[in-house]
Structure 1
Amino acid sequence: MAEVVELLSYPVKGCAGTPLHSAVLTPAGLAHDRSFMVTSEEGVFRTQRRDPLLASIRPEVSADGAKLVLYGPGAAPVAIEVDTAGPPRDVDLFGAPFRGIDQGDEVAAWLSEVLRAPSRLVRVPADHDRVTDGRTPGTSGYADSRAVHLLSRATLDRLNERLRESGAAPVPMERFRPNIVVDGWDAPHTEDRAHRIGIAGTELGYAKLAIRCAVVMVDQRTGARAGPEPLRTLATYRRAAGGGVAFGAKYAVLRPGGLSVGDEVRVTSWGGSEL
């Protein structure tokens, strides 16, 4: 039986994940996932591609989303009451215009110190109406693309076999920042073909392959760049037909609800791989 073995939410885009035993799956993904984003003073999003120290910041958001605490290296934690009603400002995510509610000067100063670059923190506004594309359209907060990123242990095991064969060290699952980790699929890359998935009372629809970037070369515990692996090895066998290197899959939420570690993962519709 395939089952959920890890659930992770990333409240602040680019920062450390929060392991969960149970979670609410909303139309935009796991509750609070990528609902906050760090930007430059001009509103351009910060990413581990340019600011790998984001990985060293650990957020904690209350269940109701009303409080946020950030922990970071060399700095005392900062806690804020989340502003959901302030005037939204323009922000830029991969060149696309969105809006965000600024969370104030205290947390901005804290982020600027930890990241060593002038920064602000914004939250998704209530009227955020982002529509994501892919085979199954949906919505998400400030995620790179789709609401849910799913990856199987079998897929990571195959990569680590290849890394060991080339004399490189294996990499942990956290390098790929998944929301849902599945175990029990015998074949690697089963998620490429699982086009409709049921977990407890929820349902996911396949949107696209997860195209990887330099973030997978960042040590997610220290925020240090640790390349060129695993991207170099992935490029030898996971070239996507549409360009880039694929590893894992992205899904839209078709039916929200609750899910937990240990829930059975049922594939109700299969399709061909886009690789």
Structure 2
Amino acid sequence: MTARVVSLHTYPIKGCAGVASTSAFLTPAGLAHDRTFMVVDEEGVFRSQREDPLLATIRPEVLDDGRALALAAPGAGEVRVEVDLDGPRRPVEMLGNPYKGIDQGDAVAAWLTGVLGRPSRLVRVPPEHDRTTDGETPGRAGFADSGALLLTSQASWAELDRRIGERRAEPVAMERFRPNVVVDGWSEPHVEDRVRELTIGGADLAFAKLAIRCAVTLVDQRTGRRAGPEPLRTLADYRRISTLGVAFGAKFSVLRTGWLAVGDELVVRRWADPPGGG
């Protein structure tokens, strides 16, 4: 079953719109510039599409190899940030865990506050950020929820939309799942669940965990409006993983850094053992 990369996506600001590219460098913590920024409230607690779905309408652009950032949103114009890597570190909190961030100033904070309608600030991962993520293969990550890289397949998406269609409900776009790498070529859905080690382009990856999906998948990523109950309702019918929730896609840790590109073949070097071993 030959699969190839059909799209690559980074999310420079956690919770905000993604940026598609034809090639990207995979660092130890994921695709370059992925989730290196995060929007927080006045206390430093991260903002998520779970409570602030309008984050999806904020479109970032990484400039000058990460030394600058431009943000745009409908009706709000654009703001440019000269990225500060040397400012004082401030406490931030994500999913109940404490980290450090570098505040990016009052101008972008005022702009974000205007877009979201609540006091907000932008912070960046410090250069010394050294966060270890859990899973079958531990890894590193910036401000991603967990895991360096999220991989999904067109076959899995097609199966989900087929089942949603049986309910006479509207299909959902793949962007609801906010993947980093989307692949096509597998004839069966959820083959990514069984991959344990693989090579893509010049990089090697190892399975960390299944991606347990949350209410962010209910948000229309183009309008910033919650549009549930799909896909969670249908995923609950056939993708419930014990008490963890429902799964779609798989998260991988980085074993070897390197370039990935659209069109690269996935070379699976190890599969999960079949149930019962053997």
TM-score normalised according to structure 1 size: 0.98
5 Å-filtered alignment, 1:148-163, equals: 148-163=149-164
The CA deviation at 1:241 is 2.5
Residues 102-122 of structure 1 show CA distances to partners (whole Å, capped at 9, x for unaligned) of 000000000000001000000
Aligned partner of 1:120: which letter?
Answer: R
Q: Which amino acid in 1 is paired with 2:40?
A: T
Q: What are the ranges of 5 or more consecutive residues in structure 2 without an aligned counterpart?
A: none
Letter in 1 for 2:34: D
Q: Which residue of 2 aligns with 1:39?
A: 40
SS in 2 for 1:236: helix
Q: What CA distance in whole angstroms lies between the structure 1 residues aligned with 2:130 and 2:243?
A: 27
Letter matched to residue 257 of structure 2:
P
Distance 1:104 1:72 in 2: 19
Residue-by-residue CA offset, 1:194-253 (whole Å, 9 max, x unaligned): 011100110110000000010000000010000011110100100013420011000001
Q: What is the root-mean-square deviation of aligned Cα atoms in Å?
A: 1.1
1:63 shift after superposition: 5.1
Preserved contact between residue 38 and residue 122 of structure 1 (Cα < 8 Å): yes
Corresponding position of 1:122? 123
Matched-pair identity in %: 63
What is the CA deviation profile of residues 43-96 of structure 1, one whole-angstrom value per residue up to 9, with x for unaligned ones? 000000000000000000125100100001211100010001111100000010
Partners of 2:16 and 2:174 lie apart in 1 by 15
What one-letter code is carried by the residue in structure 2 that aligns with 1:265?
A: L
- Between Structure 1 and Structure 2, how many residues are aligned? 274
CA distance in 2, matches of 1:107, 1:85: 17
CA pair 40-272 structure 1, distance change in 2 beyond 3 A? farther
Counterpart of 2:259 in structure 1 is: 258
Listed as ranges, the matches of 1:166-181 within 5 Å are 166-181=167-182
Q: Match of 1:154, SS?
A: helix
Counterpart for residue 7 of structure 1: 8
What residue in structure 2 maps to residue 241 of structure 1? Answer: 242
Match runs of 1:63-142 below 5 Å: 64-142=65-143
Report the TM-score when normalising by structure 2: 0.97
Does 1:222 pair with 2:188? no
Q: How much has 1:139 moved relative to structure 2?
A: 0.3
SS at match of 1:118: coil
Which residues of 2 match residues 49-68 of structure 1 at below 5 A? 49-62=50-63, 64-68=65-69
Deviation string 1:134-178 (CA, Å, 9 cap, x unpaired) is: 000010000000000000000000000000111111111101000
Distance 1:196 1:179 in 2: 17
Matches of residues 13-28 of structure 1 in structure 2 within 5 Å? 13-28=14-29
Could you list the runs of 4 or more consecutive aligned residues of structure 1 that deviate by over 3 angstroms after TM superposition?
none
Q: Work out the CA distance in 2 between the residues paired with 1:273 and 1:143.
A: 30
How many angstroms apart in 2 are the aligned matches of 1:226 and 1:51? 14
Note if contact 1:43-1:91 (Cα within 8 Å) is conserved in structure 2: yes
Q: Give me the whole-angstrom Cα distance separating, in 2, the residues matched to 1:272 and 1:86.
A: 48
Is contact 1:192-1:273 (8 Å) kept?
no
SS in 1 for 2:26: strand
